[in-house]
Amino acid sequence: MRRALAAALALAVAGQADAGARIVAAEYAEPTTRHAHGVLGDDVEWGALRLTVMDSAGATRAILLRLPRRRVFEDIAPRVVTLAGRDAPLAMVVESDAGLGARLALYDAAGLVAATPFIGQAHRWLAPVGAADLDGDGRTEIAYVDRPHLARILRIWRFEDGRLREIASAAGFSNHRIGEAFISGGLRDCGEGPEIVTADAEWKRVLVARLRNGRIERRDSGALDSPARINAVMACRARLDP
């Protein structure tokens, strides 16, 4: 069964957080089989998230955030991210709706902060890449691959004015294969700023992408001839160790 650390959520909330509470840790909770998709290798997803939050006095406590029955967390692990312009971390998660598919959502200890639209069809999923200032302008972008088994579109969103706005997209990327309990690649920084590492759409090449002037630029980083190849590129190594 997959476990995950670090996140936040909210619909039914057991234990309220004060306005100054900060997310310091979390794990998905309440495993459920009510979402029959299995894209991550089994039929178990998550109905709730258990947060550990710290209040303004430094005390910590747990909060349980529960989704309605038509939704689950269909994800490897929630990601705690810090966005430019916000003092407290946010939790970045993947929610899936029974009829509308997946969306990427951001929560703080008080509830939903922002979310992308649902994909719009049942059993359509997205695989997060990460959050960082991808173009060096001081603002935080969030990247994910939209339907990594079907559409294979890399989408980049920016959080500003309290909402997520899509600023760039490009086809031909994938970071997950059906049945795998992990997401491949992610963000790396080899000294020239954050870069996105994924496979190409056919899983034959490793791609490295950057956001420049509002456009996604990609370059080929070699054949995907080994399960370790993407990890080597993530570690800024051009070649695998002998």
The span from the CA of 226 to the CA of 234, in Å, is 14
How high is the mean pLDDT of the chain?
90
- Supply the pLDDT for residue 210: 98
Nearest 5°: phi and psi at 230? Answer: -65, -40
Q: Mention every residue, 6+ apart, whose C-beta is less than 8 A from residue 235.
A: 188
Q: Among the listed ranges 88-92, 102-106, 203-207, 216-220, which one has the minimum average pLDDT value? A: 88-92
Q: What is the 3-state secondary structure (H, E, C) of 159-212?
A: EECCEEEEEEEEECEECCCCCCCCCCCEEEECCCCEEEEEEECCCCEEEEEEEE
Res 18: pLDDT: 58
CA Rg, the chain, in Å? 18
Q: What are phi and psi of 232, to 5 degrees?
A: -65, -40
Q: Are strands 153-160 and 12-14 parallel, antiparallel or unpaired?
A: unpaired
User: Binning pLDDT at 50, 70 and 90, where does residue 2 land?
Assistant: very low
- pLDDT band, very low/low/confident/very high, at 193 (cuts 50, 70, 90): very high
Q: Which residue has the tokens 């967390």?
A: 73
CA-nearest of 72, 70, 78, 76 to 51 is 78
Are the C-beta atoms of residues 66 and 86 closer than 8 Å to each other? no
Quick one: pLDDT at residue 85?
85
| Residue 1: pLDDT band with limits 50, 70, 90 | very low
Half-sphere exposure of 242 (CA within 13 A, CB side): 0
Instruction: Report the share of the chain in percent with pLDDT over 70.
Output: 90
Q: Give residue-wise pLDDT tens across range 196-225.
A: 999 999 999 999 999 999 999 999 999 999
pLDDT in tens, 25-69: 878 999 999 998 999 999 999 999 888 899 889 999 999 889 999
Residue 94 confidence (pLDDT) above 80: yes
